Every structure is written in C-alpha cells, then in structure tokens.
Chain A
Amino acid sequence: MSRPRDGVRHRIGALLVVACASLAAATALATGPFPGIGRPATEREIAAWDIDVRPDFLGLPKGAGTVEQGQEIWEAKCASCHGTFGESNQVFTPLIGGTTAADIETGRVANLRRVDYPQRTTMMKAPYVATLFDYIRRAMPWNEPKSLSDDEVYAVLAFMLNLAEIVPDDFELSDANMATVQARMPNRDGVTTAHAMWPGGGLPGSSSAPDVGGTACMSDCAGEVAIASVLPDYARPAHGNLAAQHRRIGPVRGIVTGDDDPDAIDDPSPPALKRARDAGCMACHGIANKVVGPSYADVARRYRGAADAVDQLVGRIRNGAEGVWGNLAMPAQEDVSDADAREIVAWILAGAPER
C-alpha cells in the first residue's frame, strides 16, 4: 500500500463530499418521522410504470404507425373480440360507428342527442384521441395487456381512426400529428364538467349546488298515484328462481319463478363420511384431531401401505380392539356391515377427505 499522492487525496475528498451529499438525502429519509419506511424509486422503475398519457399529450411516447400496419395487427389481435370493422360481434360494445363527417366539423356527435339511437360506440363518445392511445397501450389486447410496442399502438389507433373516417387510408399516426387528429375527433366538444358531483375544485363550471333534489313533503304530497312501469311477465323468470335467491326463514320468501329448489341443501360429504357419521364413528374419531380414539389422519398414516390394512381395520371396526392406540378400547361395531366398514376404511386410508 503506497500513500496516496496529494492529488489523489484531493479526488478522494471530492468523492467523499458527493457520497456525503447522497448520504444526507438518504439520512433525511432515515430520520424523518418514519425512518426506514420506503425507498427512492429509480428512473427505470418510474419509466416502467408511469405510462399514462394525458389529453394534452403529456406522457405521449415517440413513435409512429400506419393504417395498413394497424389493420394487420387488428386482424391478428383485436378482431376476435372487436370485430373486423370494430362492430364487436355483439360481445363488447361496438367501437366504431355512429359518427359523421359533420360531427368531425362540429366536434359534437349528433346521434348522442337522439333518444332512439340504439347504442353509443366508443368513437361516438371519445373526446380525446390521447385517451384511446393510453388505454390501448395499458390494457389491450384484453388477454395480453401491455404486449404491443408503442409503434404498434400508434398503428392500431391509426386503423381505428381510419375505420371512423377521421384519417385517410394512407395515414401514418405519430406523436407529431396526434394534435391534428385531436382537432378532428367527432365528440371533442361533447363533454362538460358543469355539475356538482366532483368533490373538489379545479374543473371548469363545477358547482356545489346539486342539480336534482327531492321534496321533503310529509302528507298529501303526490296526486293520485299511478304505476307507470312494471316488470313485464316475460322478464319474471329471466333471473332464475327468485325463491332460491332468498333466505328460507324470516318475514319473507322469494317468489317462485323457476325450477331451482330453494330448499336444496348441498351436503358435499362423501358417502363414506355420511356412513361414518350415521354409524356414530365420529363420536370418538375426528378427521384430523384426536377425540377419544385416534384421528382418521393418524390411522391413515399408520396403516397406509400395509398389505392387509383394509382387512385389519375392518376387523377392528366390527370386532373391536384393545391396546392399539393406548389404553382405551375400541368397542365392537356389530351394526356396521362388512361392506360399509370396507367403504369407511377405504375412505380413511384415502386421507378421509371431507368433500
């Protein structure tokens, strides 16, 4: 070991200063009100999880994908649930449809005003293209979420936007042109925060006064009471037998609307366990615990693998035994037939399963 030269010593000193600075940061954690709780997150850890993209595109990754690339991915990974054209095969809610060129101009989907319009597609509702990107990236494909690369997400989204006639067939969607697409989203002006159901500030138009309230009237309140809607007869059995969805005791019963037996009780016990109970075996033997005699688990452990285990044990059940498990004698169970005894023994040796 040679003595460090001055210059080296100086450098070591500088390193020590740096080390002390980071130690100080760590010490701040260690000596705050909750020392030893938590640790700093690394850059890579934050990058791995912080994948959200805001409507103003904060968090949008660089990348690009074309409609054509998107179609290929769509047919391989998306169409089985969402349909070739986003119509969703009646499984999920349709993604595409219900928007028009006029909507792209106005930023409001006209069909949302129609009470007779049958369904709201995703593209009718979506105000932000960024949200579609964020959601596809974090949650799709449904059974393999987060498996698409960023470029693939751009491509799939480009294909969807093309299906909705928001972008042309030869379009390449990228982080650079997302904002121009946003300006063509059919329902971009279709959302409002003017309501009193957000418990906090910061949203335009939000209020603290509820928009709907009841009336605290106590007598002679409504006029003549008329019934406007009832469950149609055809819908009565749609939820199965309501009698089997209610308690069998108490002030009410469920009405009978199907065949399930409301009083059916599942006894999942195997037949041998029922026989053991009926024969009174369980007064002295537990399945896993010693009661008076040994537990069935202990019996199984001692006899499992023995060649004549079944005959030995059937004999002990029917003829009684003494001194095998201590001083207490097992009385002869003459009422248990040979067949029943064999079934019980087989079950005990199988580990005495309760179900």
Chain B
Amino acid sequence: MGGKAKTDPVVPGRVRAAPENFLSADDIAAVSSGRRDVLRRGFAAALGLGGAVAASTIPAQARADDPDIVDLPPWSTSLGLPVAATPYGMPSRYERNLVRRQSPGLTQVGAASVAFTPLQGSFGIITPSGLHFERHHQGWMDIDPKRHRFMINGSLPGMVARPMVFTIDDLMRLPSVSRMHFLECGANTGMEWGNVAVPTVQYTHGMVSCSEFTGVELRLLLDICGADLSRGTFVLAEGADGSSMTRTIPMDLVRSGEVLVAYGQNGEMLRPENGYPLRLVVPGVQGVSWVKWLRRIELGDRPWGAKDESIHYVDLMPDGQHRQYTSIQEVKSVITTPSGGQALVGQGFHAISGLAWSGRGAVRRVDVSVDGGRNWREATLQQPVLPKCLTRFVLPWSWTGERAILQARATDETGHVQPTYRQLRAVRGTRSIYHNNAIQSWLVDPSGEVSNVQTA
C-alpha cells in the first residue's frame, strides 16, 4: 500500500483545499478584473481532484450555503438524552479511533504485552485514565480492595522494628499527597534503536503517559514501622498478581518523599490495568519500578537482582555487557502533531505541538527544527511545567508545501540535552532495547503526508 495520503471524500459544506497552482497567474488576473466564471470552473476542478491551496483565495460569494447550517441538524431540533444516561461518562462515539492499541508482531501473547497510548490525539499533559498505556507481565487482575493487604518487613531481623500489615482503609486514612508525574516504560521507543520500525507516534512513543497520582509517601509508612534506614539502604517492591513482580527501588527517592504508595489516579481510584487498588509511584524512573497491585515493601541492604533487573530491563552495550538497574528516564521529547502516519489537512498555519519530559527534573526548554536539525527555534512551554511530569510545547508554523523534517530537542533543568540518534548510538550501540531517548524525526512530504524517518 505505497499510496499517498488519500484525501477525504467530498463532504457537503466543507470548503476543500484546492490543488496547488490551480489558479494560474492569468486566472488570478481574470478574477481580479471581475471574471468570476474562471474561478467557478477552477473550483469545480478542485473538487474533482482534491489537493491543497489556501481556501481563502476563494471569495465568499462563490461559496454555497452550508447545509449543516441552513438545514437544521437533528441535535438542534430534538430532545437530548437525560442526565445519568451513561452513569460513567464515555467519550463521544466519534472519538472511537483514539484507543490503546497493540503493535502487531511485537508480542505473541496478550497477557504479556503492551497497549500503547494514542499520543497522536493528545492535548495538554494529562493522559485520560482509560488511555494510559498498559504493560503487563502476567495479565491484569481486578483485585477486591477489601481483601488487599500491604505489608512492610525487613530482610534481616531488626531492620524494620515493627513489620506491619495495612489495609486499604488504613492507607486511605493517612495524610495523602497528589502529584502529577509521567510514567514511561523503559522500552518506550525500543523498536526504533536500529532503524525506523513503526509508523506513528502511538507506537514509537506511546509507552509514556501522565497522571495525577494520590497516595501516601512511602517514607511515612516506613517510619510508622520503625524502619532503620541506616541499615536498610535499598527497598524491594512486590506485586500481588500472579507474577508478583519485584523491583529494587532507589532509597534516595524514598528519603526525598517522592516515592508514593498510591491508590488514586486522576481523581478516582487507580484503574485495574494500572494497579488497582495500590501501586508504587517512583517519579522519573521507568514504569517497571512502579509496581502495580503492590502488596509488599521489604527493606534490605543490597539490591535484589530480580528477573526484571538482571534478565529483562537490562541495557545491552556494544561490549556485550548488560547495564543493570538503569532506572532514570532521561530527557526526551517528541512532536505529536504533526507526526508519522498523518496528513496535514492543508497548507497555511499549523501549530507544531508535542511533549517533553525528564526523569531528572523539570523541562527547561524545547527547541524545534523544521529542517532536520540544521536550525532550531525555541518552542513555548505550556504551563504547568512540573518536575518529572510531561510538559506540552508548541511552536507556530506556516507550511507552504515544502518538504520539511520536524524535530524536537528537550533540555532539562540539569542542563542535560536530548541526544541525536548518532550521539546515542555512538555510546550505546543499537541493541540496548531500553532507554532510547533520541531526537525523533518526522518527514513532511509536499503532499502533506508525514512519515517516520531517521536522519544519518
């Protein structure tokens, strides 16, 4: 299917963009001198052909009345549905295209797979809970919260003075905090390490989402249990699902109060696919450490070398060594509009818009290039700009039909600048799978079609 962007079928009342140069200089002169028949011929031709010239070249007199205005639509002439017709509100049925999707062939079994967030349609920085990406190792469960327990104990006697059990009731009674953070899988963009592999930003970058999480600081719970943090220098988090997944959590983030034992997401309880009723929140760190269905925290004096920190989630370096405990999601950004697999609806004004984030703190700036990285302009960062949270950037752009290569490059508050593929591969090769934070390139073809490319 190598075809170019198929333009929309003719929709009544929609003023179609006309093909380039469909008015010759002579035609324009004729129009200027009052011969509108030329224009009408041209407009008819444009309708037949599809294509793109600024619609504003067509004077208002030539437009037909819009039937969606003059023939009143049913929603203006009938009674709407009552309140609570849908007790839990759902998106409009016209938005059904924007859903979580799997990448065909990436995995063979749905219970150990990934469903990507549709970033191509996202606004702002918060991911609707129902669109938060999914990554499960052994399927997901909808756990009865009344039967869920959370335990804290120590690896060695005395490390935790009072090993304790908490119910969800207990945890929800404690003082809580609510914070917005991104959650990115360490393997996000992993398919693109060697070459372009997938068509859209949903599949290149859709293992990042961002929510407001509500919960209790883990350090508070450790304190209640009498944890000895001079002896216990690492923390193990463990899930209650079949995989009972374990990860070693860095103590610095526990001490700083950033690590949360969370039950809330975007104002409601966590979704089952995201760990209901309890998950760990480890800001700035890859998603695998945000253990879902959290049942236990263990305090210990060495890292645990769990399956997901010695066999998976290890980054293969060119010398054949695996980097272990690579946790921080480093500075990264991607343009979401326009992005791969899209076609611009017409020439003229477009806002280039995308997302930037860093596991080391707040995004300081984002630069955008439309010429493949030769020249850059600083984008505007939309508020709020929060640490370890998605940040939305925008840059106005007028597209006049030229070929363009769009790139975004983020810099975080530590001064760390997002690398190019060349810079990244020079150090880490192409087989790491994890932690690909290279600058993404989108090629805009003169037809308006946008595709995923990598520059040399």
Hey, which chain B residues are within 8 Å of A91, CB to CB?
108-109
Chain B's nearest CB lies how many Å from the CB of A353?
13
Which 8 A-B pairs rank lowest in CB-CB distance, beginning with the nearest? Answer: A200-B250, A225-B372, A214-B417, A113-B320, A200-B252, A112-B320, A252-B342, A256-B6
Additional A-B contact list (10), CB under 8 Å, known A199-B285, A225-B374: A38-B224, A92-B108, A131-B305, A191-B314, A193-B324, A212-B330, A221-B373, A225-B373, A245-B120, A250-B337
Within 8 A of B (CB), among A319-345: none
Q: Is B146 an interface residue (CB 8 A)?
A: no
Q: Is A152 an interface residue (CB 8 A)?
A: no
| Cα separation A213 to B439 with both chains bound (whole Å) | 11
Within 8 A of B (CB), among A188-239: 190-203, 210-222, 225-231, 233, 235-239
Q: Is B135 an interface residue (CB 8 A)?
A: no
Hey, which chain B residues are within 8 Å of A29, CB to CB?
162
Query: Contacts A145-B242, A225-B373, A257-B1 given: A214-B328 contact, CB under 8 Å?
Result: no
Chain A's nearest CB lies how many Å from the CB of B17?
12
Chain A's nearest CB lies how many Å from the CB of B73?
15
Hey, which chain A residues are within 8 Å of B264, CB to CB?
none
Sample (15) of A-B pairs whose CB atoms are under 8 Å apart: A37-B173, A40-B165, A49-B151, A49-B296, A54-B304, A115-B430, A201-B233, A202-B233, A203-B325, A214-B417, A233-B2, A239-B198, A245-B118, A252-B344, A289-B82
Residues of A at the B interface (CB closer than 8 Å) are: 25, 29, 32-34, 36-41, 45-46, 49-52, 54-56, 58-59, 90-92, 108-110, 112-113, 115, 120, 122, 125-128, 130-131, 134-135, 138-139, 142, 145-146, 187, 190-203, 210-222, 225-231, 233, 235-240, 242-248, 250-258, 262, 265-267, 280, 282-283, 286-289, 291
Cross-interface CB contact of A265 among B96, B251, B429, cutoff 8 Å = B96
Cross-interface CB contact of A39 among B108, B121, B164, B319, cutoff 8 Å = B164
Residue ID in chain A nearest B365 by CB atoms = A216
Q: Is B57 an interface residue (CB 8 A)?
A: no
| Cα separation A257 to B340 with both chains bound (whole Å) | 13
Q: Is B176 an interface residue (CB 8 A)?
A: no
Hey, which chain A residues are within 8 Å of B430, CB to CB?
115
| Cα separation A197 to B359 with both chains bound (whole Å) | 9
Query: Contacts A135-B307, A230-B453, A252-B338 given: A199-B252 contact, CB under 8 Å?
Result: yes
Q: Is B132 an interface residue (CB 8 A)?
A: no
| Cα separation A142 to B389 with both chains bound (whole Å) | 34
Within 8 A of A (CB), among B270-315: 284-285, 295-296, 298, 300, 302-307, 310-311, 314
Cross-interface CB contact of B296 among A34, A50, A213, A286, cutoff 8 Å = A50
| Cα separation A199 to B328 with both chains bound (whole Å) | 7
Chain B's nearest CB lies how many Å from the CB of A303?
22
Q: Is B71 an interface residue (CB 8 A)?
A: no
Q: Are A52 and B304 in contact (CB under 8 A)?
A: yes
Residue ID in chain A nearest B312 by CB atoms = A125
Q: Are A109 and B320 in contact (CB under 8 A)?
A: yes
Query: Contacts A191-B322, A200-B251, A262-B97 given: A229-B338 contact, CB under 8 Å?
Result: no
